[in-house]
Each structure stands twice: as C-alpha cells, then as structure tokens.
Amino acid sequence: MRVDVVLRYVGVVMIFIALFMLLSAGISYVSGMDSAFYPLLLSSLLTALLGAFPLIFVERTEQITNKEGFCVVVGSWLVACVVGTFPYLIWGGEFSLVNAWFESVSGFTTTGSTILNDVEALPRGLQFWRFSTTWVGGMGVVMFALLILPSLGRNKLTLSNVELSTLAKDNYRYRTQIIVQILLVVYVGLTVVSTLLLKMAGMNWFDSLCHAMSACATSGFSTKNASVAYFNSPMIDTILIFAMATAGVHFGLIYATVTGKRSNIFRSEVTRWYLGMLFAGGLLTALPALILTLINYYKLAITSNSEMGDVYEEMDVQTTGKDIDIAFNVRYISEAVRSIDETQFLLNLNSNISPCVLVPTEGEDFLYLVLPVRTAI
C-alpha cells in the first residue's frame, strides 16, 4: 500500500473541510465579526496548509487500489474529527481538549450529543461550524469531497464504492459519478426545503438553516439550550420530524420518486418496513404521555432531606405542562399552605428558578408568592 498516495487524498478532504471553516468565518463576519471570526479563520488556514503539503509533494496517481481506498475513507473521517477540534480549541470557553474532541466527533458522526452547558453562549460563527460538521457528516466527508473532484477519474469510482454501502447503490442504473451527484442534490434539496418551511413556521433564517442541517443529517444539534422546545411550536416540531424521517429514507428512492422512476418509495419493501417501524416506535413512545395527558392525572412527589431524616411523599394532582423539579425552604411553603382555607388551590410553576404562585381555583381571594432555592448538584 502506498501511504503517500493515501495522504494525498486525505489532504484533499482536509482542504474541503477548510472551506467549511472559511464559510463559518464568513458567517461570523456578517454577524459583526464575533469572537469566533479569528479562531475560524486561523483554523481554516491551518487545515488548508496541512492538507496542501501532501498535494504539493506527492504526485498524482491514475489509479488507487481498494485497500488504499479504504484507508483514504477511514483516514479522512479520523482527520476530519481531529481538525474539527481546531475552532473549538482556539476559541476556548468550555472547550478543553477532551470536550473539543467530543464535540467534533459528535458532529461528524451525527451523534448529536454535546458537552456544552450553554449552547446559546457560542457566537454564530462557531454555532454554524457545529452544524457544518454534522451536515457534512450526515452525507459523508468523502462523498462531499467527490463532488468537487471531477478530475479523479477512476479513483472516484474506487472511493465511492468504499464510502457507499451496497444498499445506498441499490436500484441505480447510472454511472458512479452520477450517483454521487444524485445523492448530494437530494441532500441539499431537502435541506433547502426544510430551511424554507422552518422560516415560514416562525424561526429566523439562521435558526432555520441550522436546524434544517441538523434534521437532514438526522443529528440532534440545536442553537438553543432547550433544543426545539424553546420555540414551543407544534408546526416546527412537525417539520423537523418530517425532515428527519425523510432523511432516513434511501436517497436514490427519493430521487426516483421525484423523477417518476419505476423503482420508487412506494414500491420499496425496505422503506415500508422503515416507515412502519418509525410509526410504531413513535406511537409506543408517545402513548404513555398521551394517556396521562388525556386523563390529566399525575403524582406530585415531595421529598425532604434533613438531619432528622429523609421524607418522601406522593400526592394525587392534576397538572398541565411539563414536569419540573423545584426546591423550596420548607418553612415558607408550609406557612403559605397553612394560610389557605381552601381544600384545593393552584400551584403555578414556570421553571425551577422562577417564583411559585399559589392562587385559588376560582376567584381572587388570595395570592401567595414563594421563592425557590437553588440546590447543590
């Protein structure tokens, strides 16, 4: 195996990734040159420089073997995750070496997990870089690079055969380079449509694009700490569900369906099983919450820890909204409850750091305000 040849094509992928870093720097620039501009610009230059070395010193080859193709694909993914840490490490903040590596790998593998406690603290440029990693990873680092490398010739065939699974190439009767273009056209098209729909549903352009990129990559990144719950919009939830479900379908079948080919989604047994399992899994997941919502019945758990011992008690309550964990000074909450002559009253809670408001179920006979306390984590 020719290691220098492998390094040459890995270098090409690095230059491709550097372009997305540069694009993220552009987002940072138009956002008022936020604090991520120079880290992104420096990361782009550093990544491009590292990728250019093998291109300069290794001669182009007309053919690579399957073994070399496998090494190029694996090496490209690993290198992408490594250079993906550069913007995080240079910017700083919560990003230690381990945290930056975790965030980069999570993005390129479309895992969607994050180590960040405050996602909203990131500048827009760095936010866009996070979503760029997951969007590129959703299609495949090498697949994107193949689109901009028309000069590879037979090498493109070798690399695409390694990167594409057998299922991903099923039902095609096109040349390999056409397959690559079809997959990317569907992927980009789905992202554009999702962005427009999210904008129409009430998101701003930046949030729309970022969430569309995340959904089409079947990831889970969000620009908000509360994720899509921040927007509190059934329409946005529906659009993202549709985008992620569609992105999980064989892209070749989507293309065939749109262009009126015979081998389409409606004739695919795999797609029928996929959609059936998706529906069944979603129903089983939502059913318990749906039942509880319909009967509007929950348990209120009350716990207390002190030197005298621990207490745990449950009460039957009717609730609306989401569950919440909140702590009070027991003396203050007890005094408020003892002062109420009613057998029933409303306990209004917005968050675990917002005041609790006690009001009657009807009328305006009383109103009590109790401040919560922070608990040690």
Q: Which among 134, 163, 192 is the end of a domain?
A: 163
Total domain count for the chain? 3
Residues 134 and 24 in one domain: yes
In a domain, 376, yes or no: no
Q: Which among 258, 291, 324 is the end of a domain?
A: 291
Question: Does residue 213 have a pLDDT over 90?
Answer: yes
Range of lowest pLDDT (30-34, 318-322, 365-369): 318-322
Per-residue confidence (pLDDT) for residue 376, from 0 to 100:
57
The contacts of residue 314 (CB under 8 Å, 6+ apart) are 299, 300, 301, 302
% residues pLDDT > 70 (the chain): 84
| Three-state DSSP class for residue 347 | strand
Confidence of residue 182 (pLDDT cuts 50, 70, 90): confident
What mean pLDDT is predicted for residues 271-282? 88
Mean of pLDDT over the chain = 81
In a domain, 377, yes or no: no
| Three-state DSSP class for residue 310 | strand
Residues 271 and 150 in one domain: no
Please give the residue range of the domain that contains residue 32. 1-163
Question: Does residue 187 have a pLDDT over 60?
Answer: yes
- Global pTM? 0.70
Nearest Cα residue to 193 out of 134, 121, 254: 254
Q: Residue 226 belongs to what H/E stretch?
A: none
Interval 321-337: pLDDT, tens: 777 888 888 788 788 88
Residues 215 and 313 in one domain: no
β-pair type (345-348, 368-370)? unpaired
Q: Is the dihedral of CA 16, 19, 23, 24 positive or negative?
A: positive
Per-residue confidence (pLDDT) for residue 60, from 0 to 100:
75
Q: Which among 129, 163, 197 is the end of a domain?
A: 163
Residues 248 and 337 in one domain: no
What mean pLDDT is predicted for residues 134-152? 64
Per-residue confidence (pLDDT) for residue 152, from 0 to 100:
47
Beta bridge partners of 301: 314
What mean pLDDT is predicted for residues 301-316? 75
Residues 130 and 189 in one domain: no
